[in-house]
Structure 1
Amino acid sequence: MEKITLLVEGLAKLALDQQVRIATAESCTGGWIAQEITALAGSSEWFECGFVTYSNEAKQQMLGVSESLFISDGAVSESVVVAMAKGAVQKSRAQLSVAISGVAGPGGGTDLKPVGTVWIAWYFDGCEVEAGRYQFAGDRQSVRKQAVVGALKGLVKQLNKNTV
């Protein structure tokens, strides 16, 4: 069985056991995280919704991300994914969210944010947002897939922390 499928199955068990609903806020992965979650039968019991916010305007309109963050930090930044993660919980019935923004390539990279740079944030309602910067290698498809796996692993980690 593929690694992603196993991650989603583990995530489903934890979410169901804890009665936690999850939302995704995706940019560079274009809804891939939500697609992997909803590929599992019964995911409607714990998956709330997915926001695909590829443009900065969509991040502002759908998730409430402040325009000033794009100006000061850029779309691929900790501040933006933190705001996206919080917005996904605030704009839905979810208690836990993951947000992702990155440079998947092949173009768009800079010296400060080369191709493969991805920021991921996880937000459990009422807790501190956790965010991390990742540098994934490979082509566009590979970078995006690694980002999906990282996002799912982080959701599992958040739910495992919640059981302590």
Structure 2
Amino acid sequence: MAESKALSGDVTELAQLLLAQNLTLATAESCTGGMIAARCTDLAGSSTWFQGGVVSYANALKIDLLGVEPQNLEQFGAVSAEVAEQMARGALRSGQASVSIATTGIAGPGGAVAGKPVGTVWFASVVKQRTVSVCKRFDGDREAVRLQATDYALLHLINRLKSTL
């Protein structure tokens, strides 16, 4: 129970920051599979600040729905700063939002490649037209990686929004 209280508190804080700055959020999720969007919509009244999200697990959807350039997928791979950043910018366009967060990673148990072990997740956000990306590595099984990535994405947004006040 304490865990779910903390998690809902993160969304409440995110909502307050977005509303205070008259901003709206859109998500682009791969490895988190819509968990960020679900967490946002768990909060009553989220329609005032949450526009929606795209779950783009397949590379074809990253290209078609979010505008990720095929050459970036080929050169850097789906789990990269370049792809995460393009996903975040695509979420802004498709969600007609002012803030976005994107996730792309390897939740496991398979999928690891050289330099990108299971638990590697790239995050990118766009806040006030500035794109920031960061790579994190999480431990645990598939569910643990996805939950930690979702938590990190929310905290990442909160910290970015606090820095713009």
Task: Pick from 104, 112, 125 the counterpart of residue 107 of structure 2.
Answer: 104
Deviation at 1:56, TM superposition (A): 0.3
Distance 1:61 1:110 in 2: 25
Equivalent position of 2:95 in the other structure: 92
Q: Give 1:66-77 correspondences, 5 Å limit.
A: 66-77=69-80
Distance 1:138 1:67 in 2: 31
Distance 1:78 1:140 in 2: 21
Contact 1:24–1:33 (CA under 8 A) maintained in structure 2? yes
> One-letter code of the match for 2:155?
K
Q: Does 1:50 align with 2:53?
A: yes
> One-letter code of the match for 1:132?
V
TM, length-normalised to structure 2: 0.95
- The runs of at least 4 aligned residues of structure 1 exceeding 4 Å deviation read none
Deviation at 1:111, TM superposition (A): 2.8
Contact 2:66–2:87 (CA under 8 A) maintained in structure 1? yes
How many residues get paired? 162
Gaps of 5+ in 2: none
Deviation at 1:106, TM superposition (A): 0.4
Q: Give 1:8-157 correspondences, 5 Å limit.
A: 8-127=11-130, 129-157=131-159
Distance 1:117 1:40 in 2: 28
Distance 1:37 1:73 in 2: 30
Deviation at 1:113, TM superposition (A): 0.6
Gaps of 5+ in 1: none
Deviation at 1:19, TM superposition (A): 1.1
TM, length-normalised to structure 1: 0.96
